[in-house]
Structures are given as structure tokens and as C-alpha cells.
Amino acid sequence: MPVGKKRNKRKKTSCFNCERKLKADDNFCFNCGQENHDKKAPIALLIGDFFGDYLTIDSKFLVSVKELFFKPGAMTLAYTNGKRQKYIKPIRLYLFVSFIFFLCLNLIADQNNFFEPTTTTADSGNVNFTFNNSEDTTTTFQPLATLQDSLEAIVFSDTASIEQKKVANELLKSQATQMAGMFQQMMGLIPYVGFTMVPMMALVLMLFYRRQKKYFVEHFIFSIHVHTLTFALLSIVIGIKYFFPDIIELVPWTLLLIGLHTIVAMRKMYRCSWGYLPVVSIFGTLTYLVLFTLVLFGFLMLIIATGSFG
């Protein structure tokens, strides 16, 4: 039940849908199941209903988030054992947190302006293709370093003709534009890759813990909770970085925390020995990374094949 004052329903004595007689305290029609609530109301009441239905803090959400962060594996174990009433549904929680994460990811990408062409001090408005970040440092994109260096050498050359400089300059601009488009496409792939890796991780867990005879759905719920925690912590880090760009790098420490949290959660969920956990953690992580690379590569090939890059 949402925290706060319960919404008052505007009831009628007959069903709106099937016109069956109802009692004054009936919340739903016993014949067709429709809610006994008159939605014909002033706009202020409708707005209030919207915020009451969707923006109130649900006690299940609070309990789920608390156990997700501070009791590794406890919610997953309880949920798979049938104790589900006090928890929000795993997929619902995952979708909410992942939406926040992808929103934060887009915000930080827009703030950093990756692959943005920047004008140099050379003649003809020459463009230097660089990474831009909050510290205003410059890092060359290594796979294109040779081509970029060659073009820049022409642009800044004392012997090259004006026409050659203009051509090289236009190629630099085109290169920057294409890479910006590729970066945006890759950013757009992250939600699909994230969704795909949830069942992939469940398959990896099912492989390593096959002797426990657990159903796939149990591994799937564990995977959902791990990815939910990952997205939640990374969202917090991205939010901190967005408002405090000069703060120390937090991502490596966050990834370490996620790894330790997952190990403790696996210990709780699968009740395996501490001696077996490092083996599962190392080989499971390597398997996950290989699958992640294959999934990402597959999506990239799909985009390239359909001509979406540019």
C-alpha cells in the first residue's frame, strides 16, 4: 500500500461497465471486475489521482530497495522460496531502475560531448577530432590515430596547397561526425545489451550450479537483482559525476563493490562454500564477459548490416 493518505474513490451504486447493482462500499464490480470509481471529475482531481497512483512511495519498493542494497541475496532467496508479498516484482523493479540508469547515461554523455569536433587555431577553421571530457584534456581515438595524424599533418603543413588543406579539413570534419553518430548508436545499444545479458547470466549460473537442481527462473531472478543493483549503483555514481564533475573517479570502486556484493549474494542464494566461490566468481565473470562481448558484437554487426551507422 502506498505510504500516505489513501485515495478516496468516487463510487456509484451501479457498475459503469455492466450496470450491475453495487453496494456503496464495493471497490470493484463482482460481476465484471471493473473498478467502482467515477473518473468524470474536475481536472484537479484527475491530476491528484495520477500522482497518487504513480508517484507515491510504495512500501514494497522501500523494502525491496533496502534489502537489495544492504542484504545481498536475501530478497532473491526469499522471493524464490515463495515469500513474495512484501517485495516488488523483480522485473518491475528492474525496468524502473534501468530506465533511470539509461536516462542518467544519456545525461552524462550529453554533458561530456564525446567526439565533438573542436576548432583549432590553424588556418581555414581546421578541425581536430578529439575526445572531450570534463577536465578539458585531449585523448586521441587510437584506431583512427594514423588517419587523423596524416590529415592533420596536411592541414598544418607549410608545403601543402590551400586546396589540399581544405580537403583534409573536410575529411576531419566528416570523420568526427561519423564517429559521433557511431557513439550515439552504441549508446542506444546499451539497453538492448543489458536486457539480453539478464538471461545470459542466468544461463551461466545454471551451468555452474547445475548440481543444485534449481529451476531456470530462480537463476533468472538472481540475475535480475544483480543487474538491478548494478544499474542502481551506476546511476548514483553518474548522478554524482554529473553534479560534481571534478570528483575522483568512482566507477572502478563501484564495480569492485558490485563484485563483492554479488559474491556475498551468491553465498546466500546458493549456499556454496567460500572455497568454491572464487572459482565460480573468476570463471563465471570470464564467461559473462565473453557472452557480453559476443552480444555487443552481434548488435553492432546488425546495425552495420542494416546501414544504421550514418
Q: Which residues contact 239 (CB under 8 A, 6 or more apart)?
A: 104
> 184: pLDDT confidence band, cut at 50, 70 and 90?
low
Q: How far is residue 4's CA from residue 150's CA, in Å, rounded to a whole number? A: 65
> 180: pLDDT confidence band, cut at 50, 70 and 90?
low
Q: How far is residue 304's CA from residue 216's CA, in Å, rounded to a whole number? A: 33
Q: What is the mean pLDDT of residues 143-158?
A: 63
Alpha carbon separation from 240 to 148, 237, 250, 251 (Å, rounded): 34, 5, 9, 11
Instruction: Give per-residue pLDDT as tens, 204-236.
Output: 999 999 888 899 999 999 999 999 999 999 999
Q: Is residue 82 left, alpha or beta, with left meaning phi > 0 and alpha meaning psi from -120 to 50?
A: left
Q: Which of 20-34, 48-62, 166-180, 255-269 has the highest mean pLDDT?
A: 255-269
Q: What is the mean pLDDT of residues 30-35?
A: 73
Question: Residue holding cell 460481476?
Answer: 31
Instruction: Give per-residue pLDDT as tens, 120-132.
Output: 444 444 444 444 4
**Averaged pLDDT of the chain:** 75
Q: Is the pTM of this model over 0.85?
A: no
Q: If we measure between CA atoms, which residue out of 142, 169, 141, 140 comes closest to residue 153?
A: 169
Question: For residue 10, what pLDDT is reported?
Answer: 56
- Higher-pLDDT residue of 30 and 101 is 101
> 78: pLDDT confidence band, cut at 50, 70 and 90?
very high
Other CB atoms within 10 Å distance of the CB of residue 83: 11
Q: Are 162 and 124 in contact (CB under 8 A)?
A: yes
Lowest mean pLDDT among 1-10, 197-206, 228-237: 1-10
Q: Are 221 and 94 in contact (CB under 8 A)?
A: no
Question: For residue 55, what pLDDT is reported?
Answer: 47
Residue 117 is given by DSSP the state E
Question: For residue 301, what pLDDT is reported?
Answer: 84
The alpha carbon of residue 124 and the mean position of all alpha carbons in its chain are separated, in whole angstroms, by: 42
Instruction: Give per-residue pLDDT as tens, 79-113.
Output: 998 888 889 899 999 999 998 998 887 776 665 54
> 145: pLDDT confidence band, cut at 50, 70 and 90?
low
Q: How far is residue 185's CA from residue 178's CA, in Å, rounded to a whole number? A: 11
Other CB atoms within 10 Å distance of the CB of residue 20: 13
